[in-house]
Structure 1
Amino acid sequence: MTKKSYPAVFMRGGGASGLFYLADDLPTDAAELDKILISAIGSPDRYGVQLDGLGKGTTSSSKSVIVSKSKSKDYDIEYLFAQISVENPSVDWTRSCGNLASAAALFAVEEGLVDDVKNDKAKFRMHQVNRDELIEATVDLNEGLVRLAFYKSKMKEHMRVNFDPTIKVSVEGIGKIDVSVIDATNLVAFVRARDLDTKIDGVTNFLELKDKAEKIRVAVAKALNIQGGTTNPRILLVEAPRDFRDRSNRIVAKNQVDIIVFALSTHEIHAGLPMTAVMAASVAAGIEGTIVEKESSWKDQTKPIRVGHPSGVDGARPISLSDNETAVEIVLDARRLMSGLVHVNV
C-alpha cells in the first residue's frame, strides 16, 4: 500500500458536502482515480461512519467533485461528480448532485478558473459531464449564493422517457403499483407513500420499507429496460400536502408546502432531500398525469414549487424555454470549509 497526498478542498453546497479537486492534480487512470477518491472519503466502512476519511457516513457527504476549465467553446467550466459508497469500495459516476453543483460553481470561481469576475460576481456555463448537462451558474461571492439553471434539451425524450406519465408495474410481494418515472437531473421513480403504507413522519420499519423500495426499483428497471446498476431509478416517495414534523420535530404546516417528497438512504430516511430530487419533483409537477402533479397543490407555476422533506422545505422552478428545451432553476448557498492536502492509502 502506497501513501500519497493530493491538493483538495472540503466544501458544502446546499445540503451536501464533499471533497473538491482540480482535474490537473489527479491521475487520469480510472481505477487509480477511484482508489484515491474512496480512500480520501473513508470508504469502505462497514459501520457506516467513514472514520478513516473525510466522509460523514451519509450519502449526502460521501461525494467528490473534479473541476477543470472546459476545452469546449460551449462551456467555461466542466466537472465530474462522484457518488462514493459508504459501505463498499465503489464509485458511481452515472449520477448528478444538485447541491454540490452550487459548490462546484463557487470552487471554480475561487480557484481562478472563471475569467470574467466583476464586483465579486460571475456568470458562466458549466458542463456536468456525467449527465452531459448544461448548467448556467451565477455566483455572488459576497453573499455566498449560487443561482443555477439546469438545462435539458428534447424535453419529451428526456423528461418523460417516452412513455405514459404514470404506469403500473407488478412488484414481487406488493402487487401492481403506480409509478411515475422522470429523467430530470437524475433518473427517479415517484411512488405514493400511502401505497407502501408509510408516511414521511411515520416510518416504523425502515428495513421493510427499504426492501419494498428496492423491489419497486428492480421491477421498474426491468419493465422499462433501464440500465445503470443498483441506483437507477432512484425511488422517491410522495405525499399530498399536510402538516408534518421534520427531523428537528418542528411542525411544517400544510400551507407551507405544495408537495411532500422523501427518499431512502443507507440506514434511514434521507436526512433531507437531494436537490436533484427537488428539481425532478418540479418537472414532474408540471407534467399532467404524473403522481406528483396529481398529489400536488402547486397552482402558480411562475413561482417555485415548495417541496416538503425531512429537513424542511426547498424550492425549484422549471422554466419552459421552447417545445424542445426546458430548464430548472434553484438558488443555494455554498462555502469553502477547508483547503489543504488529503492523504490517502492506495
Structure 2
Amino acid sequence: MKLLATTNGGLESIAAAEICDLVDGDASVHHRGVLEFDADVEDVYELHYRSRTLHRLMAVVADGTVAELEDVYALTARSSIPDRLPNEEFGVVGTRHGSHEFTSVDVAERVGQATIDAYRDATGTRLPVDLDDPTVRLEAYLYDDRFTLAVDLTGESLHKRPYRICEHDAPVRATLAYSMLEIAGWTSDESLVDPMAGSATIPTEAALAATEAVPRPDLDPAFDALPGYDGERFRRLRDDHTEKSPTLDIEAREKRKRWRHCARVNREAAGVEDGFEIVEADAREASIDADCVVSNLPFGIRTGTDLRELYGAFVDRLREGDVGRLVALTTKPNLIPIEPTVRYDIPYGRLDAAIVVWEP
C-alpha cells in the first residue's frame, strides 16, 4: 500500500534514510514535510514504535489529478474509503497549495460529503462526524492539480515524547533533535557534547537512540478500530522490542540552574539516568573536546544575550579544542563566524532557521 509520512520540512532526506533503514522503503518527497513510499502493515507497526524522525503515518486511499472542486468529490467517492474506515466518528483536514478558486475548507467539506455518501452507499450507514476529536482523521492534500487523500494511522504525533515533562522556554522538537544527530553522523561509540543543552532534548534523544529504546512507548494508534490493522499485534511487537545497554560518553552542558534541573527531570523520565552527564558550564568559557558537538543555539531577544558575542566566543572554544564535527540549529546563522560545510534551511515555527554543519 501507499503511505504518506510527515516529518520536519527541509529534512525529508533524513527521514527518508530512516525509512529505508527500518523497513527498506524507498521514500520520495510528496511535498514539503511529507514523504510517500510503499509499505505493508508490518512496516506500519514497526515505524510506529521505532521511528525517531517521523511525526505521522497515513494510508493513501485516493491519489490523482483534479481540475475543479467537484473532481475532489468524485475522486473521493470512487476510492476504497468505505473499506478503510470503521463506523466511528471521522473528521477531515484539508491542505491546499496553488492557484484555485476555492479554499482548504472547501476541499475538506467536499471530501467529508463524498466520504459520507460513499460509506452510506456501500454499507447503508451514515458515518458520524466529529471535527474536534474524531476516532479517525482524514488528511486531504491538494497541491496544484494533484489531490491525495489519506487515513491518519497515528493519532497523536510521534514527536510528542513522553519524557518532555519539564520544558525549556524554546525547546527543540525531539524529531528535529534526533535528525541533527543523524546529520552529525554520531554513533554511540563517539563522544558527544551539547554545550547549550537547555532541558537536554538532544542528549536525551542520543541516549534513547543508542539504547534503541522505543521513543513513544505510550503511543496508542487507532489500530483497534481501523479495518486491516491489529492493535494487539502492534502492542506485542512494541513490548517485545529489545533494547541495548552501551557505555556512552555524552555531556549536557548548561549554565542556568533552572534548566539543569529540567534536564535531570527529563533524563529520569526517559529512563536514561546513566545515559549522559549534566554539568554546569558556560559555552563562552568552557573548553570543548568531543567527536560531535550538537546544539540548539539560543536566539531571540528573550535570551538577554548579545548573540554575536555568544556565538563568537563559542566558536573560539571550538577552534581551541579538539572537535570532530559541529551541528548547530539557529535562526541567526549569519552570526556564527564559520563557513559551514553543509547547511539545511528549515522552518522553525514561524521563523526561518538553519542547521549548519562544520568540520574544523
What is the TM-score with the length of structure 1 in the denominator?
0.26
Larger relative strand fraction: 1
Greater C-alpha radius of gyration:
2
Output the TM-score relative to the length of structure 2.
Answer: 0.26
Whose relative contact order is higher, 1 or 2, with alpha carbons under 8 Å and at least 6 apart? 1
